[in-house]
Amino acid sequence: MNIIIAIIVITAIISLAALNNSSIFEKYKFSVGAITQRKEYIRLLSAGFLHADLMHLAFNMLTLYFFGPIVLEGFGNIGFILIYFGSIILGNLFSLFIYQKQPWYSAIGASGGVSGILFAAIALYPAIKIFIFFIPIGIPGFIFGLLYFSYSVYMMLNPSQHDNIGHAAHLGGAFFGLVYAVLNQPSAAIANSLYIGIMALPLIYLSYEIFVRKRIG
């Protein structure tokens, strides 16, 4: 649990500092142009310590706090760290791939890492109840996963100029957490294969749209 608290505290300190100093945002946010043209690869990780506002920060850190212990118990400190930071990096790499022709695209937030932790937990316990604001009934984890992936895929394929959510980073992070859990807990993955397969349906469709129809990327 100490590693979770440490990440929350460090992320909060850096995020709050950046909220009061725009130069920190500009130097460390995810930026396609800065990464591809100036090779500032640190942004693939550093963007995970920045947030747009207190609500954004609180939502991510609360999710990490509640679901982190499940992943910590299932994979230990090293596994937790690999999932969290690996999901941030892979989520941003996926964003880089998707938006490589848009050098102006930028993003911030730990959502990729948090998504990785959340979906690693769901892979272990597909029936885990997930509560969403204003909905008093818990949603089974695999149903939430299906809805989450479906919405993210839809928004990626039908982008809105008013949408400020980094769906690609969310998907990339969630995918990393899910795959890590499957590879490192194969017995649980086999037992939960039906639920994992249901969740993965939107990802299969997205792969078809990207690599076969070339709709995005």
Judged against a pLDDT cut of 80, whether residue 161 lies above it is answered with no
Find out whether 32 and 92 touch, Cβ atoms under 8 Å.
no
Cα distance between residue 128 and residue 144, in whole Å: 10
Higher local confidence (pLDDT), 216 or 26: 26
How many other C-beta atoms can be found within 10 angstroms of the C-beta atom of residue 84?
27
φ, ψ for residue 185, nearest 5 deg: -135, 65
Q: What is the pLDDT of residues 94-125, one digit of tens each?
A: 999 999 999 999 999 999 999 999 999 999 99
| pLDDT score at 176 | 97
Q: How confident is the model at residue 217 (pLDDT cuts 50, 70, 90)?
A: low
Stretch 17-32: mean pLDDT, rounded? 95
pTM of the model: 0.94
Please determine, for residue 163, whether its predicted confidence score (pLDDT) is greater than 80.
Answer: no
Q: What mean pLDDT comes out for the span 57-72?
A: 96
27: left (phi over 0), alpha (psi -120 to 50) or beta: alpha
